[in-house]
Structure formats: C-alpha cells, structure tokens
Amino acid sequence: MPADRNSKPLTTARRWLFRAFALAIPVLFFILLEAALRLGGYGHSYPLFIPVADAPGYLQANPEVVRRFVVDETREPEVEIWPVPFPADKAPETLRIVVQGGSTAAGWPYGYGGSLAGMLQQRLQATLPQRNIEVITTAMTAVNSYTLMDFADEIIQQQPNAVLIYAGHNEYLGVLGVGSAVSAGRTRPVVLAYLALRDLRVLQLLKHTFLGFPTRETSGEGRPDSGPTLMRRIVGKSQIAFDSPLYHRGEAQFRDNLAVLLEHYRNARIPVFIGTLASNEKDLVPFASVLAQETDVAAWRRSFKTGVDALLGGDTDLAGTSLEAALALDNSAASAHFALGRLFESRGEYSAARDAYLEARDRDQLRFRAPRSFNRVIREVAAEQGAQVVEVEASLLDHATHGIIGNELMLEHLHPNLHGYFLLADAYYRALLDGGIPGSAVQAVSTEQAWRELPVTAVDLKRADYEVMRLTADWPFRTDGTRPHYPDRNGEIEQLAYSLFTRGMAWSKATEQLQAYYLQRQTTLAAARVAVLLADAYSYDTERQYQANQLAQDAGLVQDAARLLRRALQQSPVRELDAAVSTDSSGTDLHN
C-alpha cells in the first residue's frame, strides 16, 4: 500500500513527547487511584503518638503503631506499647525523656513500673519534686533498629530533653530483622523502600489483595495462651551461623540504622544515652549448637561426650583435653564452648569461664541474644555521633556472681529480673545526673530509697511470674509440647494477676481492685502507694490526684501528697479545699 504522501515523519521531540505521555498514563492512574482510596477512607496510617480519647490536650503512644512495620498483616505479632499520657504542649519547666528499645526497654514481664521508664519516672520525680517529670516509653517487644530509626522524627517533635536507648537483641529475629518471619526483605535498601512507601493506600490495597486482611490471633481467655509464643512465631531463620554473610548483614544493619538514628538526634541537639547490652551468659545452654558441614561428626561427638562425662564425674583434666579436642575439630560448636565455660568455672577460673560463655553465646545460631560485637558497634557509633554510652553490662557484671551474668539477674535468656531491671535503670539514672540532664545541684536519690519505693505492685510481680512460665514452657526453651502450669491462684492477688495476664482485666482495673483490697485490710501505706501509681498513670485525671493525695497524706507520704495536690490544683484551681490540705508540711501555700 503506498505511503500517504501528506504524512510527515515524527521528529525526535515528538517521539519523546509520545514516550513521556505513554509513561505518564500508568503514573496518573496510580495517582488517581491513591487519591480515590484516601477520599474513600481506605487504609491506615499509624502515627507514633495519638490523642488520649478522654483527655483533651494529651497524647499517648499508639498501641497499634507496630502495624506500620508489618508487611503481611495476617501474621501481625502480638506487641504491646505502654500508653503513658503526656500534655501535647510541653510546659517550660517540664523534664521530658523518651525511652526507645525492645522488650527489655519495655520492662517485660513487669510492665511500666518495672521498666526503665517507670523506674526513672519514680526516681527522677523524687529527685526533682518541684518539677513536672515525664518519662515516655516507645519501647515494644520484638522491634529493632528499623523501628527506632523510623520513630526518631516523631519523637523529636515532642521536644524531649533526652532520649534513652536500650536495643540490639532483636536485630536478627525482631520485626524486619534479617532472619525474621515478619520481614519486608532481607536487604536494607528493600526494607527502607518499604518504610518509605508503606503509607501509600495503593500499596496497602495490594498487600490486602494478595496477603489477606489483618486479624489478631486470640484463644483461651483473651490471649493466645495455649498457642505459640511470639518467640516461636517471629523466627524465619532458625540458624544464622557466626561469621556468615547473614550474620554480618545483621551487624551492618544495626550499625547503619543506629548511625542514622543518632545523627537525627544530634542534628536536633537532643542528648542521647545508649546502653550496652547484657544477657544471660552462664545459665542458658545455647539454643542452637550446629556443626559445620565438613566436620567429622562422629569424632566430634566422641570427644564432646567424653569431655562432658569427665566434667560431670569431676575429672577436670580429661574434661579439658576432650573439650579442646572437640573444639579443634569444629570451633563453631556453641555447646563445646559452653561446656568449657562450665569447666573453667568449676576450677575457679572465672575470667576464662566468662570468655568461654561469651564464645558460646556468639556461636548460638538461634540469635535471640546480641553477640559481643554489638557492644563494640554501640560504642563506635555513639563516639561518632556524640551520644553518651551507659554502662549497663558493666553494672550487671558488678553484681553478678563471680562477674558472670546468670540467673541471679536474669529471668531467662535476656530479660532481667526485678533486681536486674533496677540495676539497668540505676545505670541510666546516674548517667543522666552525670550528664547534667535534670539540672545542676540536684540531690540524688539513694539506691536504698529507690529500691524501697519501686513502682511495682504485688499484682505486677505475680503476673510477671505467669508471663515467664508461659514463655519458658514453649520453644525454644522446651520442645516437648508441655503446656505451662500456673499454680497459686487461690488468693486475691493471684486472681487479679491471672486476670491481668490473660487479658481478662486491664491494668488500671486490676490495680484499682488491689487498692481496694489493701483498704479493706486497713493497710494504708500499701493502699496509698498503689493510689499514687494510679494517679501518675492517669496524670490528666484530676479526681484521681485528689483521692491519691488524701491517701498519701494519711500514710505519711508527704512528698507524694504535695506533688499530687500541686498537679490537681493546676488542673482544677477553682476547687475549694480544706486549708490544712492546701499546705504541705513546711507550711508552703500550694496554690501559689
């Protein structure tokens, strides 16, 4: 067919114009679809801080914020964040501190009162009774440096006087970790891309279309008590060998994210206090001791069994030579290093014993505990970015038997017991004072007083027992399918704790009933301490402040009574009070 004589060949400019138009069509389609989805109310954004429903002018951490990190929302982990209310507009005299980290920073299993934030709130308030103290926690179970980095800008907006960080144990198996089942990809650029795009409603539509809509697994009495624990559900890679590419990827991820996080705070001129990591060294057998593929397994097992049998029989010489022979065959075996630590400890060679235990921890391929290199990363990045290192590990080592951290300070693999948490918080408290954060010429609260006034109730302690029982009855602590047994549920405190544990009762309700329990038995001091905790937890509730003030006065808690009355009068200055109540023990008019 002859060509149209009137047609003209496309110029280069027109060709590029047509190409640009062709490319613009799908882009315009997605822009319009995104706009339509937003106008239609589809999808969600999950801000870190949200308004408190019954307290205008107050914010709290968003209990659902973890959802913004989860690609497959049908596998959303059960994660809690403690919603500490605080004024949206920071008062000039307020000392505001924000805590970041994972489950240890969150105070698992004791709750807010046993956490770094809760213990510091109590101690700093006693140190500075005339100031408003706000210690806000954004810590959550199973999160790592991606979450911390992602929260930074929203935390900066709240104008904290300091940020406290305790994190690193979840870098491999936590949400978005290199070995996690809750992942957006195995490489940092992919994860960062997901974090940058996650609020797009088009992306959320694609997720829900191909992966399903989010559901929360629950069973039993309001929680997945009979189902697998979060430790079991979060694992994607149960074996990450020491010095392997994936091992180094997790280490690099921690370093790079930490550098970005600390740089954000440095640019905002917010002081950062970051703690070194500690975990159970001597009283936790490695979860996963795996031999290298080229190892002579039969020979290794013979040497290892001979060494362990000799150690149990008291023949330390034979134990030493046999275990060294096993390690010569395969140095990657965590169990052989651990047994060698037992041998050195039995000989009283505690420094060598700790070195062996740390070698075992580094080679434990189920990476729920951070390796030694992470503390080096923390020190190096903190030095580069001007952050203050808090010597948490050294503090626990100073109080550990023979300088090796074990069950005297740990509940299981890495969560401290109450004494361990107190030492962790004490390390941060002293670092804050040394750094001049509360102000100059403050009178420090002694460790004896701080321990005596811990903001943890009997219900919190018993609930913690149930939490640990549940965790350690499941994999990887046990693999026999045994369900946890929860004894001692006959008393009032045990019943309240169990209801709190099974999510059958909120913390506020359980604590209110504990206060009533103490009042019925005329134990005024115990009731007053509980009332003060409730008043601080609901600082916007004026009536709680007045009620706790009265109980605190009756119990002789003069400082707490004055502080609570001052807060109540700031919220409701027109309320008439008895003149005796309006003055503190020194005769100071609290209305002024």
Do 163 and 272 touch, CB atoms closer than 8 A?
Answer: yes
DSSP single-letter state for residue 429: H
Task: Please tell me the distance from the alpha carbon of residue 518 to that of residue 457, in angstroms, as a whole number.
Answer: 12
Distances (CA, A) of 140 to 45, 71, 167, 507: 18, 18, 10, 17
Whether this prediction's pTM lies above 0.85 is answered by yes
The pLDDT score that the predictor gives to residue 217 is 45
Task: Please tell me the distance from the alpha carbon of residue 40 to that of residue 34, in angstroms, as a whole number.
Answer: 10
Q: Name the H helices within 314-372.
A: 316-329, 334-346, 350-363
Amino acid sitting at position 531: A
The pLDDT score that the predictor gives to residue 35 is 74
Side by side, which strands form the sheet with 86-87?
Answer: 49-51, 58-61, 86-87
Beta strands in 220-367 (DSSP E): 272-275
The pLDDT score that the predictor gives to residue 33 is 63
* pLDDT per position as a tens digit, 2-35: 555 555 565 777 667 667 767 777 767 657 765 7
The pLDDT score that the predictor gives to residue 220 is 40
* pLDDT per position as a tens digit, 326-343: 999 999 999 999 999 999
The pLDDT score that the predictor gives to residue 76 is 63
* List of the chain residues with pLDDT < 70: 1-10, 14-15, 17-18, 21, 27, 29-30, 33-34, 37-38, 72-77, 202-226, 440-441, 573-592
Do 319 and 307 touch, CB atoms closer than 8 A?
Answer: yes
The pLDDT score that the predictor gives to residue 194 is 84
The pLDDT score that the predictor gives to residue 576 is 47
Distances (CA, A) of 94 to 130, 532, 569: 10, 19, 17
Task: Please tell me the distance from the alpha carbon of residue 388 to that of residue 271, in angstroms, as a whole number.
Answer: 8
* pLDDT per position as a tens digit, 531-574: 999 999 999 999 999 999 999 999 999 999 999 999 999 887 65
The pLDDT score that the predictor gives to residue 587 is 41
